[in-house]
Chains A and B, each alone.
Chain A
Amino acid sequence: MEILVCVKRVPTVGGTIAVTPDGQEVDTRMSGFSISPHEECAVEEAVQITERAGGSVSVLTLGPEAAIEQLRGALALGAGRAVLLETDGREFGPIATAAAIAAEVRDHGYDLVLLGNEAADTGDYQVGIRLAHELGWPVATGIKNLSTSADGVVARREYRGVEEAYELPLPAVITVKEGINLPRYPSLPGRLRAKRAAVDRSSPAWAAEGLRKETLRVPASSKHQAAVLGQGADAVPELVRVLDELGMLP
């Protein structure tokens, strides 16, 4: 099976998140970059499928040249080919992103395209679905269990206490969520191979979209310091009083 996995370079945020003074981007002076957990799982799932059923995994990202770091990360885990859709620094909206990925998919004849359910940063929840409509392929989203056969996949997720199973013919687009597997760590040979691997490049056209970002800000949060009720088990009577006051005790 020929599989394409789409990943996105995003800042690694830890204890805090801040925006640049112009309110246009996340301040990354103090952070590294990574791909989201959903996408780490998409890469792992693709590698597992090809280990089982044969075929190969390609990994694609749309982003600046620096995103090659994230492509190499996926190559180290078992992807065989990397594609950079290089941007000029402008943020591509979900419509332009889906169109750019669709062009790559049309050129290469994949059976399956895997994406994360949503990007960690923009959280648009729609690139996979727009991609499927561009291609005329079926799509299932938020998937946490995937089984494959020669002519189709069965994709499963839970919703409001009900398990949903979707049977899709191939080719298809699937967006996955963390929890579908536990991603492996890269091996040393994998890392060496990734370092040497060639990266295919193209530069898709940016296009304006009907939804336009003006500024980003950190919410005027409820951030405050907790009232300390006490130390250790001695604080339990006070905790019980607070729980009662909040109406939490039956």
Chain B
Amino acid sequence: MSVLCLVEFDGAGPADASLRALTLGRSLGEPSLGAVVFADSDSVPASALADYDVTDVYVIEPGTLEGYAPQAWARVLAGLATETGATAVLAAGTDRGNEVLAHLGAITGLPMAANCTLVTPDGGQTHRLVRHRWAGLLLEEAVMEAPIALFTVATDAVSAVSAALPSGGTPPGPPVPAAIAVHVHKPELAEADLVVRAAESPASAGGASLATARVVVGGGRGVGGADGFAPLEELADLLGGVVGVSRVVTSEGWRPHRQQVGQTGTKITPELYLACGISGAIQHIAGCAGAKHIIAINTDPGAPILAHADYAIIGDLHQVIPALVEALRAR
């Protein structure tokens, strides 16, 4: 009996969202936790996966399956689920994770629960779960009855907890021996599974790092116009972060949509979100609630954002931000 988790890569290592998914997958308590990886087997960080109690890695190499093809990836998961007797197959609630698991649901005819924050086996083919609705503004408690539980894990809810770093503040012990088996898997794929396949090229610029930035400087209606963002850019540079914006800013065409933080934009999980001139519509909160710390700069002491922020400055961002930039430069 196994649990299988699609693991995505971000630069060198497993993506943070995938580590969060592995953390939830491990909690299901099956003897085997399998990571399914579409990559060159030389580049698989087996020890990083072993830290999350992964027992088996199934590697599908580029020679077997070139590039991202969502339906083919789902077909691979379906095959592995049968071979390993999986009771659950999961992925991170990313664009790719939700897409591949939805294909898997359609291929198997099974239900799929997107963006779960908690999943608990409840005997037989039953799992109890909690999942996001309204991008996390509401939680749904639900029961899933299925021979294989298919679900994705909300990218901003479950924390990634390495098994090698026990909770409770004890320092890490010696490295976990890598009792991990790497299997190079060569699936049989039909032409129909490969019709939709991504041709990849470098994106124009920016935005891509918004989802994973450590610091986000947010600008809203209070910025006033397309030409008002230079001080925010400067501040973001000084803090090693990026600029994000509210929906009104992209609807007005002041900034490109890829910078939007919110339910219909990007969900962010920075250490610090500095929300400047953003009132805090609930759809925006859905995008920034995963920030560890929120500081608001707003002229209105009654702005809804203050109910979600840790700290606030009541004032005009056009005065506060230049003064902050100056103070940081002087350090």
Contacts and interface: CB of A to CB of B under 8 A. Distances in A.
Interface string B291-317: 001111000010010111111111110
Nearest to B322: A233
A230 B196 CA distance: 54
Interface stretch (A56-64, A66-74, A137-145, A191-199): A137-145
B144 A210 contact: yes
Interface residues of A, number: 85
Given A248-B239, A249-B328, A162 B201 contact: yes
Interface in B114-144: 114-115, 132-144
B contacts with A: majority SS: mixed
Interface stretch (A43-51, A77-85, A107-115, A215-223): A215-223
Contacts of B263: 120
A122 interface: yes
B209 interface: yes
A129 interface: yes
Nearest to A240: B327
B102 A236 contact: no
B285 to A, nearest CB: 9
A167 B315 CA distance: 50
Contact of A17 (B102, B134, B143, B146): B134
Interface in B126-168: 132-146, 152
Contact of B103 (A13, A17, A129): A129
A214 interface: yes
B264 A239 contact: no
B95 A142 contact: yes
Contact of A237 (B201, B304, B327): B327
Contacts of B181: none
Nearest to A212: B143
B195 A168 contact: yes
Interface residues of B, number: 96
Contacts of B215: 248
B320 A209 contact: no
B96 A179 contact: no
A226 B302 CA distance: 11
A147 interface: no
A162 B316 contact: no
B222 interface: no
A249 B264 CA distance: 31
A239 B296 CA distance: 11
Contacts of B319: 232-233
A108 B207 CA distance: 40
Interface in A133-179: 133-134, 138-142, 144, 157-169, 177-179
B167 to A, nearest CB: 20
B141 A214 contact: yes
A139 B196 contact: yes
B243 to A, nearest CB: 16
A232 B316 contact: yes
Contacts of A225: 306-307
Given A95-B111, A216-B140, A248-B272, A162 B203 contact: yes
B203 A219 contact: no
B330 to A, nearest CB: 10
B184 interface: no
B32 interface: no
A36 B294 CA distance: 27
B253 interface: yes
Interface in A117-135: 118, 120-126, 129-130, 132-134
B106 A123 contact: no
Interface centre among A16, A125, A138 (most CB of B within 10 A): A125
Contacts of B143: 211-212, 214
B105 interface: yes
Interface in A1-43: 13-17, 19, 26, 36-38
Contact of B99 (A141, A213, A246): A141
A236 B250 contact: no
Given A129-B105, A158-B207, A236-B324, 8 more contacts: A120-B134, A160-B10, A178-B264, A210-B145, A213-B141, A216-B140, A229-B312, A242-B311
Instruction: Please give me the 4 A-B residue pairs with the lowest Cβ-Cβ distance, nearest first.
Output: A179-B257, A161-B208, A232-B315, A126-B102
Interface of B: 10, 15, 68, 70, 95-96, 98-99, 101-103, 105-107, 109-115, 132-146, 152, 195-204, 207-209, 215, 238-240, 247, 250-251, 253, 256-258, 260, 263-265, 271-272, 281-283, 289, 293-296, 301, 304, 306-316, 319-320, 322-324, 327-328, 331
14 contacts: A26-B138, A120-B135, A162-B203, A165-B198, A212-B145, A214-B141, A215-B140, A217-B138, A219-B139, A223-B307, A226-B294, A228-B301, A233-B320, A248-B293
Interface of A: 13-17, 19, 26, 36-38, 93-95, 118, 120-126, 129-130, 132-134, 138-142, 144, 157-169, 177-179, 182, 209-219, 221-233, 235-237, 239-240, 242-243, 246-250
